[in-house]
């Protein structure tokens, strides 16, 4: 039996545990809570502004998203944004690794 499947399962479980660890840290540490919420606010504003441009609709949609994802359901916003960040770093890491192995030849 090949152990690669078990390693992938362990990595997947570790990533899920890390994603769910952030809301726990936010709950017990007020400093981390404030920092993550500020990052989420800027992330939401910059994403909506990137899609819609600078207009009043951008402010309305950003306000609605900030209310729901930062104030009301903060654990969902923190977990999802951290999971997306981990996936982005993972994909970028694979691209850098692939370029590094092909350019060495």
- Per-residue model confidence as pLDDT tens digits over 59-104: 999 999 999 999 999 889 999 888 888 888 876 777 677 777 777 6
> How many domains, the chain?
1
Section 39-50 average pLDDT: 94
Q: Is the dihedral of CA 69, 74, 78, 80 positive or negative?
A: negative
* pLDDT band, very low/low/confident/very high, at 33 (cuts 50, 70, 90): very high
Q: Residue 62 contacts by C-beta under 8 Å, 6 or more apart in sequence?
A: 44, 45, 48, 49
2 pLDDT higher than 60: no
Q: What ranges in 29-73 are assigned the alpha helix state H?
A: 30-52, 56-66
pTM score: 0.72
pLDDT for position 88: 81
Phi, psi of 2, rounded to the nearest 5 degrees: -85, 135
4 pLDDT higher than 60: no
Range of the domain at 38: 4-103
């Amino acid at each position: 039996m090949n152990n690669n499947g078990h390693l992938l399962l362990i990595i997947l479980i570790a990533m899920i545990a890390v994603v769910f660890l952030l809301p726990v840290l936010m709950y017990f540490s007020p400093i981390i809570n404030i920092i993550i919420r500020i990052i989420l606010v800027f992330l939401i504003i910059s994403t909506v502004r990137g899609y819609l441009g600078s207009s009043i609709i951008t402010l309305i949609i950003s306000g609605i998203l900030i209310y729901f994802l930062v104030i009301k359901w903060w654990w969902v916003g923190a977990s999802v944004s951290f999971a997306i960040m981990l996936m982005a770093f993972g994909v970028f890491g694979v691209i850098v690794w692939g370029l590094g192995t092909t350019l060495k030849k």
